[in-house]
Structure 1
Amino acid sequence: MALRKALIGLLVLIAVTDTYASHHQSTLAPRRRSNTGHKSHHQKRGCSAPSSAVASASQALLTSTAGGFVSVAYYANYDIYNVKPYYPSDLPVTELTHVIYGFAQISPNGTVSAGDTYADMINKVPGDASGESGTNVYGNFKQLFLLKAQNRNLKTILSIGGGGAKNFEYINDTSYRAAFVKSAVQMLEDFGFDGIDIDWEFPSGEQTTYLYTLYSGLRVALDDLAGQTNTTPFLLGIDVPGGGAFPPYTSYIHKFDQIVDLVFSMDYCNCESNYQPTACDNANLRGGAANTTSTIEWLIENGATPGKIVMGSPLFGYVYAGTAGHDQPYDSTKTPPGDGNGLGTYAVKNLPLASMDNATISMDNETVASWAYHSETQTLASYDTPEIAAMKAEWIVEQKLAGAMYWEISNDHDTTETSLVSQYAAAFQKAGGGLASSCNHLYYPDSKSVLHLLKICPEFARD
């Protein structure tokens, strides 16, 4: 009995173990943001497996969003390389229901694997043991799993692909799709994820036929896994474009809706995706050449269930130079370099720029957009302020959508007062539904690398 208690006590301290080599640094260092004032869903115990296997997308949805709205943060594997590294331990877990981890990569034969082996599996942080025997998994995979063990309502989703991802073009091959499904589900098992998401930017109409076939295979495989392990369903998500860049697979939206649990609408880059020649809004809710409302309406009109749609919220903004103001032409040759997010693109925590000191910050309640303009340097920054984030959250509640998704979490402000994620979480709490609350998975009996203690004490993992 004493040994069992000791093993359980070590659960949140020990490394993820077995057959994979390690890569990258994430810490359980002090978090930079306070969560004071928001309801915590922290729960180490009290989760239980169903008495019989549950295996359907509709039941998975109920499990994934039970009791409120989803608050979903994209966490990128490269966040640990930031000038000020951002680790899984920095995630505002009491304000989140899901973390999407990006990105896994795909080989030409369809095999899914770690996108950055060092960041994902090798990097050690303070507290990781040294000189251990065997091949142990560390890095972000380990740290995310430990967060799940400590916060039983936090679920992690493995995202495959990402902007500019290679090798999707071979999807028409049957063996490619079979390898994709097998290896993706194996990664979920090996590293303890709760679901799979695909971010393909973007398939053609013909390719979408094969993408749907691939998703169908994933749905079956994930449901089979839930049945074999007698656990709650695993999640399946899909990323779709916002900003008016409607894909050619409109006729497939209703089909995807039948097999996925969450539809992540990337509601940003409204100017970029429409090649506007003016300093316009990055993520306006209404108006302009493109807007979030039109994207959500397009999804619903083509068969997406509102309660599955997760509105994308950018934690970045665009800076335009050589402009007389909002919606005015700008000089693209003067576009600033950005802070690592792309040309002219900056984290919201860095906006307005230091060079825009005393800029005038404006907000349009009709379009639900905000910007800062500095007349002396003729520079305009389009980004969401905390007030705009709160208004968007209220709109999500009114439209009865599933919740909000944030790209990407390391770009957010460090304080609760200015954090956009905090504004969404607070608005969802105020609406009465709060944040969705349901148990994550810790039980992976056939995993090659999840904490071996969970195999020793499976009753704890499923409690």
Structure 2
Amino acid sequence: MAKLLALLAVLCLSQVIGAERIVNCYWGTWANYNSGNGKFDVSNIDAGLCTHLSYSFFGINDSGEIVSLDTWLDYDLGFISQAVGLKNQNSNLKVLAVVGGWNEGSTKYSAMARDWYKRQNFINSALNLLRNHGFDGLDLDWEYPNQRGGNWDDRANFVTLLREIKEAFAPYGYELGIAVGAGESLASGSYEIANIAQHVNFINVMTYDFAMASEGKTGFNAPQWAVENAINFWMSQGAPANKLVLGVGMYGRSFQLSDNSQNWPGAPCRGEGAAGPYSGSTGYLGYNEICQNNWHTVFDYDNAAPYAFSGDQWVSFDNVLSVQYKMDFALRNNLAGAMIWSLETDDFRGNCGETYPLLKTINRKLRW
């Protein structure tokens, strides 16, 4: 018996060691509309750098059914079929349909989750979407239960929804993931963490956006201490490490300084930084924009994160070194892997050196 137990222990250990870690690549399909070298479509995706490709986003209607948010991209241009076709380049790639996102809000999802009929509409439309187009699973990105127009019952209703989706997916082997708010204050108000963890294959923890210009001062988008605190909180509340996927932003949060001479973390700001040439949104710069700016850059070792500034513009972001710190933490804690938001904001064209420098750093740590 002792020999048998020892053999079983060795086999279990080898399975854990041999299990491939997740590298989940979110793709914002609207980057097809970006200008110049920011334009991104399926041809720019290196399928070998991802274990999962998360096709973002689908939405829902008032009946709870999943709908396309851009039928021209999804169907007329054939982005869905092209994305699923990447499995021909990487036979192990899983392509997921992502439903939700920040712009979808919370109200419709709150109404769907509390209504049995709307939940069934959601689940049946999910099954049709996955079957008809060859997706391997669903990623539900409800931002966020009990927030932004939701209510306290969302927390329990979310568990019910996930349980029902899991049961419906089981005969087909579809995967079910969720994207969740990271920090303790948000997560504790939105999720019954131990309960939702039972019903999903993995949990994408959005460990970024820890500082915004609305706070009136500069700050780090994803400082190491905040990332670690968030993941440790999720584990303390019953989320198993082997279901937690650590989020890495391939972008920075930007700020307009109130005084150009005060350019350190925590310095006063008067608002969001100027829009970049590709992403076109104030307060937000893709890494592919940041790396070409040639601003003065400082690596802050206390926060294990860089920041850069020029004139009244200031940005906090992740670079190769800070991503290495994050991956070392993921490895030490036996996390399921890492996810990125998002493919189109890494330096996918290699304008600053090698292509996909941040994503390749993740792969070198977790997979290669």
Q: Same fold (TM over 0.5)?
A: yes
Q: Structure 1 length normalisation: TM-score? A: 0.68
> Which residues of 2 match residues 349-388 of structure 1 at below 5 A?
349-351=288-290, 354=293, 357=294, 359-374=295-310, 377-388=311-322
Q: 1: CA distance between counterparts of 2:71 and 2:189? A: 33
Match of 1:313 in 2: 248
> Which residues of 2 match residues 30-69 of structure 1 at below 5 A?
67-69=19-21
Instruction: Work out which of the residue numbers 215, 221, 245 in structure 2 matches 1:282.
Output: 221
SS in 2 for 1:247: helix
SS in 2 for 1:160: strand
Match of 2:264 in 1: 326
Question: Which structure has the larger Rg?
Answer: 1
Name structure 1 gaps, 5 residues minimum. Answer: 1-62, 124-138, 227-232, 435-463
Match of 2:99 in 1: 160
Q: 2: CA distance between counterparts of 1:244 and 1:332? A: 27
User: What is the CA distance between 1:326 and its match in structure 2?
Assistant: 2.0
Instruction: Work out which of the residue numbers 381, 386, 405 in structure 1 matches 2:339.
Output: 405
Instruction: Work out which of the residue numbers 196, 211, 218 in structure 2 matches 1:256.
Output: 196
Q: Structure 2 length normalisation: TM-score? A: 0.85
Is the 8 Å Cα contact of residues 244 and 270 (structure 1) preserved in structure 2? no
Q: Give the letter aligned to residue 168 of structure 1.
A: Y
Q: 2: CA distance between counterparts of 1:424 and 1:305? A: 21
Q: Alpha carbons of 1:337 and 1:417: their partners in 2 closer, same or farther (altered >3 Å)?
A: closer
Q: Deviations over 1:255-306 (max 9, x none)?
A: 1111101100001110129x533211011111xxxx1111101110111010
> Which residues of 2 match residues 378-457 of structure 1 at below 5 A?
378-413=312-347, 414-415=349-350, 416=354, 419-429=357-367, 434=368
Q: 2: CA distance between counterparts of 1:341 and 1:242? A: 26
SS in 2 for 1:271: coil
Q: Does 1:80 align with 2:5?
A: no
Is the 8 Å Cα contact of residues 203 and 247 (structure 1) preserved in structure 2? no
Q: Alpha carbons of 1:203 and 1:398: their partners in 2 closer, same or farther (altered >3 Å)?
A: same
Is the 8 Å Cα contact of residues 370 and 383 (structure 1) preserved in structure 2? yes
User: What is the CA distance between 1:365 and its match in structure 2?
Assistant: 2.8
Q: Deviations over 1:295-339 (max 9, x none)?
A: 101110111010110011001102222241222333325731345
Match of 1:200 in 2: 142
Q: 2: CA distance between counterparts of 1:270 and 1:209? A: 26
Q: 2: CA distance between counterparts of 1:105 and 1:384? A: 29
Q: 1: CA distance between counterparts of 2:138 and 2:334? A: 24
Q: Identity percentage over the alignment?
A: 23
Q: Alpha carbons of 1:251 and 1:184: their partners in 2 closer, same or farther (altered >3 Å)?
A: closer
Q: How many residues are matched? A: 337
Q: Give the letter aligned to residue 358 of structure 2.
A: L
> Which residues of 2 match residues 213-232 of structure 1 at below 5 A?
213-224=160-171, 226=172
Is the 8 Å Cα contact of residues 243 and 268 (structure 1) preserved in structure 2? no
Q: Alpha carbons of 1:254 and 1:243: their partners in 2 closer, same or farther (altered >3 Å)?
A: closer
Q: Deviations over 1:357-404 (max 9, x none)?
A: 4x3321123321111133xx1332111111111221122111111111
Name structure 2 gaps, 5 residues minimum. Answer: 1-14, 147-151
Q: 2: CA distance between counterparts of 1:251 and 1:109? A: 24
Q: Does 1:111 align with 2:65?
A: yes
Is the 8 Å Cα contact of residues 74 and 407 (structure 1) preserved in structure 2? yes
Is the 8 Å Cα contact of residues 110 and 177 (structure 1) preserved in structure 2? yes
Q: Does 1:169 align with 2:123?
A: no
CA RMSD of aligned residues (A): 2.3
SS in 1 for 2:187: coil
Q: Which is worse superposed, 401-410 or 414-423?
A: 414-423
Q: Give the letter aligned to residue 44 of structure 2.
A: D
Is the 8 Å Cα contact of residues 237 and 263 (structure 1) preserved in structure 2? yes
Q: 2: CA distance between counterparts of 1:81 and 1:188? A: 26
Higher strand fraction: Structure 1 or Structure 2?
Answer: 2
Q: Give the letter aligned to residue 282 of structure 2.
A: L
Match of 2:133 in 1: 191
